[in-house]
Amino acid sequence: MGDTLQSLLGHINPYLLQIIVNIGIGIVLALGLNVITGLTGQLSLGHAAFMSIGAFTSALLTIKLGLPFSVNLLITGVVSAGVGALIGYPILRLTGDYLAICTLGFAEIVKVIFLNLEITNKAFGLSVPPPKSSIPLPIMVWVVVILAVVVVSFIHNSRFGRALKAIRGDEIAAEAMGINVARYKVQSFAIGTFLAGVGGGLYAHFISFINPSDFGFLKSIDILSMIVLGGLGSIPGSIIGAAVLSAAPEFLRFMANYRMLVYGGLLVFMMIFRPNGLMGGINFTEVFLKALGRKPHMKELKGKEELP
């Protein structure tokens, strides 16, 4: 099967394929941060740190143990989520700016640790061999994207997701409603960091050379821009935000040296004219139920109440 898929990819221009994989990795990372920041309302500026934990874990699993790629990604995600939960437990008691600064500090710590560890080759970085899998990497990336979209959609519409939205709305009110705020926050952080880790693993194998300095503050901000541009808390928003921001530097290439100027300008105008993001407040379920001619869930409930 691997060969058939490989030959299928052979028809695609490698440059476009590269952009499409960049978009895919961006979506996985953005969805992860969307759970933490968009859904639960906890501002994290350290998402790239979890991406780097994932990237190095995944690279080392391939180099030292030669694990099959799917198992590798799963372990990578679990390791990142484990670190996320461990870190999340103390720092998620903080709110707002304090939490943001804490995650920022954590990201610096991770970078310095990787810069000094012998196993991650210090400041030299690691060369990552191709993944051990018969499925080509671009297809693997998009399989992960689809799984991530499905899982995060489920979370959005579950009891768990509504609890997270309640925490985003008002923590004290949520607690009064019987929601264990601390536990839910740590769980959402673990889910977000799981996706960050998996995204990092995909990135490491795709780029084939990683260095602790790649996952700095700016990378975290890049991911944050994706979800803010797309619309906080919206899954289609995260996807479109990640796609636009991952592809923009390439599509704007014809403007040569002015492209980063245009890129920045686009972001500013977006935030002025659509402060809630491109897809702010829009979600799959509502859009498709509407398209099918059905009323969205909440309105249905309202209608029932008014009936008697």
Q: By CB under 8 A, name the binding residues for other proteins.
A: 11-20, 22, 111-112, 115-116, 122-125, 127, 142, 145-146, 149-150, 153-154, 157, 203, 206-209, 211-214, 239, 249-250, 253, 256-257, 260, 284-285, 288-289, 297
Specify the residue, 65 or 112, whose C-beta has the smaller distance to other proteins. 112
Specify the residue, 45 or 152, whose C-beta has the smaller distance to other proteins. 152
Shortest distance (Å) from residue 43 CB to other proteins = 24
Specify the residue, 98 or 251, whose C-beta has the smaller distance to other proteins. 251
Shortest distance (Å) from residue 22 CB to other proteins = 6
Shortest distance (Å) from residue 287 CB to other proteins = 9
Specify the residue, 153 or 276, whose C-beta has the smaller distance to other proteins. 153
- Residue pair 299/292 in contact (Cβ under 8 Å)? The answer is no
Specify the residue, 11 or 64, whose C-beta has the smaller distance to other proteins. 11
d(CA 154, CA 77): 19
d(CA 104, CA 6): 40
Shortest distance (Å) from residue 103 CB to other proteins = 20
- Residue pair 82/191 in contact (Cβ under 8 Å)? The answer is no
Shortest distance (Å) from residue 171 CB to other proteins = 27
d(CA 185, CA 103): 14
Shortest distance (Å) from residue 226 CB to other proteins = 14
Specify the residue, 28 or 92, whose C-beta has the smaller distance to other proteins. 28
Shortest distance (Å) from residue 280 CB to other proteins = 19
Specify the residue, 175 or 250, whose C-beta has the smaller distance to other proteins. 250
